């Protein structure tokens, strides 16, 4: 994908292409658990009208099923401002230092969420949000899992390319159904029985 290519002249629907890119990568993240961790524009080929070819799998991330479901729960809990649940999930992952001030962490998380409260979804830039989450984690000495860091890097690149194609796209709107499906699978009768 090159900035010099005139996609409109080739009859390519930028909006559909951006949506297809997000769908492709969200499928990798939340359904496959194996994803391309360096999807900058040089590693992406457009296959008209709205398909993608992905090159250079030199950096790959993995999220096991448990990590995927915990990540989904964490995102939904953060969206619903259930900060106790967010902290519990990080604690279950073993990422919190023993002497962490959980009340201060919750307060800082609330401040971060307040910053975005009321912001239209299409104006939330995933890369910026991810950087702020990583910064907050460092401040509290939280060791984020490697898969989470690679996911953030990948998601930031994909979000940037999608926004380059369609400045009005809203990655958060595309991700919601996938998160809901993951959560439904987590509470399915078969899974509960296992």
Instruction: Count CA atoms within 13 Å of residue 115 on its CB side.
Output: 12
The predicted-structure confidence for 17-70, as pLDDT tens digits, reads as follows 999 999 899 889 888 989 999 998 889 988 887 789 999 888 899 999 888 888
Q: Binning pLDDT at 50, 70 and 90, where does residue 177 land?
A: confident
Q: What is the pLDDT of residue 49?
A: 78
> Measuring CA to CA, how many Å separate 79 from each of 48, 76, 97, 119, 190?
35, 5, 24, 13, 27
Structure tokens at 23: 């769908």
> Which of 16-20, 42-46, 173-177, 188-192 is predicted least confidently?
188-192
The predicted-structure confidence for 151-168, as pLDDT tens digits, reads as follows 888 988 898 888 888 888
The whole-number average pLDDT for the span 87-92 is 90
């Amino acid at each position: 994908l090159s900035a010099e290519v005139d996609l409109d002249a080739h009859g390519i629907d930028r909006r559909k292409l951006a949506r297809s890119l997000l769908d492709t990568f969200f499928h990798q993240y939340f359904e496959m658990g194996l994803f391309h961790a360096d999807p900058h524009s040089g590693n992406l080929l457009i296959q008209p009208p709205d398909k993608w070819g992905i090159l250079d799998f030199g950096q790959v991330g993995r999220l096991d099923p448990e990590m995927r479901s915990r990540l989904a729960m964490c995102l939904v809990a953060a969206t619903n401002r259930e900060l106790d649940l967010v902290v519990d999930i990080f604690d279950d992952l073993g990422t919190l230092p023993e002497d962490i001030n959980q009340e201060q962490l919750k307060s800082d998380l609330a401040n971060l969420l307040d910053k975005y409260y009321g912001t239209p979804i299409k104006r939330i830039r995933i890369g910026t949000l991810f950087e702020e989450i990583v910064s907050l984690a460092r401040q509290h000495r939280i060791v984020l899992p490697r898969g989470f860091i690679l996911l953030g890097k990948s998601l930031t690149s994909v979000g940037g390319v999608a926004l380059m194609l369609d400045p009005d796209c809203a990655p958060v709107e595309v991700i919601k159904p996938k998160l809901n499906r993951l959560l439904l699978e987590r509470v399915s009768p078969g899974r509960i029985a296992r």
